[in-house]
């Protein structure tokens, strides 16, 4: 335990939402209320023993004898930008909790880094800047998702910034613990953080963002070698979130040293240069949907077929049928898929369990994600769609609610789970809790890119990432950018 910290009070604040600017819908207050919108002790109840970085905040402060003061946590599932009324409400709540918090010696903050509000393109920079104005020179240490689009305002508003190191994100608790230990060291005057952040004109293709695979894995090994050097307190790598069309979109590197700004600049330049020299490795040639499905025919099963264009964790509608249609065309059976379609759930309830009916499933949100799947199927399950997860998964989620759920079975043996709410595929219990045995299927259609692998790798013999169209398309040139920086690789050539 650090000495002299027993009377210290450190606030905990988090606002988390990954905002996809290409989707038609917006995120509203109800979306936060349906996920998490908590103040005070209810935050402790939700997060103290969680795998989330907030759980790490609590544990790290407790170990040092620092009083944790939970103030505000707001989280909503990735979707469209936050509408102005909702954002203003969140900021009013932030102002209020800061006003009544009493004297704070520092703050641990958990922004996402890719939050966009209707009235603030750099929403994370806005609320972190507000926090800096309130705290003055007192320390603010933040964790962040490496899929954040780091801005100068975000970086300048905090003393230190620690991004997750893994994708899938399995180290959130560890980063929260690290952040708590760092703020303790700052308060105890053990260290003086000095920071350099470099913003790269480089959009990293989502296909290449698995931290344990080529090409990101070897680059992160280089990052780790710098992280272990003397006087280095933290190194954060931001892969960026290409589905937010904002000026700060892109990659970034942040190096924090102990009272040595020249060293921070040196290492940040080294890591940035090394990444830009490898930029072509992060711009892969992707197969078409048809080619990907053809390639599945002789692969060992079950196959985890990752529907990259309808990545719910990236804000997509979760109702794309493009990959499922191709599986039907090529008769790659049996397959399992989850599609968000509340209308079909209502129809299934009317038909009842054990009965057959005609359905038009999916592609209701827009036509970027295919045409409805027309099928005759038996309703084999109806339920509330709630399930839990006890093991660490991407995002630190433990409680899941996909709303009322219907499971449909086709004559070919294919299974479609239809949900009332979009659901991130971060837990295998989304299947197991409802009696679905993943090993009975040739293909499991999973609406994600890397995050689901923390759950699905243990049951799948093969992994195929499929370049489907959609608002989370891996082929970035499909997306109608208007606000990104120019030049930016891979849209334009840049020098190293």
> From 3.40.50.300, 3.30.70.260, 3.40.50.970, 3.40.50.2300, which CATH number describes the 9-282 domain?
3.40.50.2300
- pLDDT of the residue at 403: 96
Residues in contact with 396: Cβ distance below 8 Å, sequence separation at least 6, in sequence order: 50, 51, 52, 53, 55, 169, 172, 173
Distance CA 449, CA 311 (A): 7
Distance CA 323, CA 397 (A): 27
- pLDDT of the residue at 24: 87
Say if residues 203 and 490 touch (Cβ distance below 8 Å). Answer: yes
- pLDDT of the residue at 395: 61
Phi and psi angles of residue 256, each rounded to the nearest 5 degrees, phi first: -120, 125
> Long-range pairs for 125-129 at CB < 8 Å and ≥24 separation?
125/151, 125/152, 125/153, 125/154, 125/157, 125/248, 126/91, 126/153, 127/15, 127/90, 127/91, 127/94, 128/153, 128/154, 128/157, 128/158, 129/153, 129/157
The CATH 3.40.50.2300 domain(s) of the chain lie at 9-282
- pLDDT of the residue at 495: 81
For the chain, how many residues are written?
Answer: 496
- The pTM for the full model equals 0.94
- pLDDT of the residue at 26: 97
- pLDDT of the residue at 392: 65
- pLDDT of the residue at 2: 40
Burial 188-215, CB ≥16 within 10 A → b, else e: eeebebbbbbbbbbbbbbbbbbbbeeeb
Q: What is the pLDDT along the chain (496 residues), one digit of tens a residue?
A: 344 467 899 999 999 999 999 998 999 999 999 999 999 999 999 998 888 999 999 999 999 999 999 999 999 999 999 999 999 999 999 999 999 999 999 999 999 999 999 999 999 999 999 999 999 999 999 999 999 999 999 999 999 999 999 999 989 999 999 999 999 999 999 999 999 999 999 999 999 999 999 999 999 999 999 999 999 999 999 999 999 999 999 999 999 999 999 999 999 999 999 999 999 999 999 999 999 999 999 999 999 999 999 999 999 999 999 999 999 999 999 999 999 999 999 999 999 999 999 999 999 988 789 999 999 999 999 999 999 988 766 566 678 999 999 999 999 999 999 999 999 998 999 999 999 999 999 999 999 999 899 899 999 999 999 999 999 999 999 999 999 999 999 999 998 6
């Amino acid at each position: 335990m650090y000495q002299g910290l027993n009377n210290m009070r450190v606030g905990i604040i988090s606002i988390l939402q990954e905002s996809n600017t290409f989707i038609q819908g917006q995120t509203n207050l109800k979306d936060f209320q349906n996920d998490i919108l908590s103040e005070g002790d209810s935050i402790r109840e939700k997060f103290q023993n969680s795998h989330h970085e907030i759980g790490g905040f609590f544990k790290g402060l407790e170990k040092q004898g620092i009083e944790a003061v939970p103030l505000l946590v707001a989280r909503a599932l990735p979707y469209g930008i936050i509408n102005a009324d909702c954002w203003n409400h969140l900021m009013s709540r932030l102002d209020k909790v800061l006003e009544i918090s009493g004297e704070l010696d520092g703050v641990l903050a958990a922004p996402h880094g890719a939050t966009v509000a209707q009235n603030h393109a750099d929403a994370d920079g806005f609320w972190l800047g507000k926090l800096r104005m309130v705290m003055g020179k007192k320390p603010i240490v933040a964790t962040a998702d490496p899929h954040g689009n780091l801005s100068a305002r975000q970086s300048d508003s905090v003393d230190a910034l620690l991004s997750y190191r893994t994708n899938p994100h399995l180290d959130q608790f560890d980063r929260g613990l690290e952040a708590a230990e760092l703020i303790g060291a700052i308060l105890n005057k053990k260290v003086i953080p000095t920071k350099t952040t470099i913003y790269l004109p480089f959009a990293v293709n989502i296909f290449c963002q698995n931290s344990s695979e080529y090409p990101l894995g070897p680059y992160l090994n280089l990052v780790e070698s710098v992280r272990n050097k003397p006087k280095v307190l933290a190194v954060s790598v931001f892969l960026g979130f290409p589905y937010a069309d904002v000026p700060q979109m892109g990659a970034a590197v942040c190096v924090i040293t102990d009272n040595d700004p020249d060293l921070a600049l040196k290492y940040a330049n080294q890591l940035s240069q090394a990444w830009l020299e490898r930029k072509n490795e992060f711009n892969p040639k992707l197969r078409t949907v048809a080619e990907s499905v053809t390639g599945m025919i002789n692969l060992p099963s079950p196959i985890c077929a990752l529907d990259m264009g309808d990545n719910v964790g990236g804000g997509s509608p979760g109702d794309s049928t493009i990959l499922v249609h191709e599986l039907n065309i090529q008769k790659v059976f049996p397959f399992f898929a989850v599609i968000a379609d509340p209308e079909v759930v209502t129809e299934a309830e009317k038909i009842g369990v054990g009965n057959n009916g005609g359905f038009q499933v999916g592609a209701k949100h827009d036509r970027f994600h295919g045409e409805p799947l027309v099928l005759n199927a038996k309703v084999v399950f109806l339920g509330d769609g709630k399930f839990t997860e006890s093991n660490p998964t991407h995002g630190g989620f433990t409680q899941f609610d996909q709303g009322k759920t219907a499971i449909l079975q086709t004559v070919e043996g294919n299974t479609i789970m239809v949900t009332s709410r979009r659901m991130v595929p971060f837990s295998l219990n989304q299947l197991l809790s409802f009696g679905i045995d993943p090993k009975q299927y040739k293909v499991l259609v999973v609406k994600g890119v890397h995050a689901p692998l923390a759950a699905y790798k243990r049951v799948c013999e093969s992994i195929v990432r499929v370049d489907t169209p959609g608002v989370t398309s891996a082929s970035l040139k499909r997306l109608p950018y208007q606000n990104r920086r120019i030049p930016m690789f891979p849209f334009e050539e840049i020098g190293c």
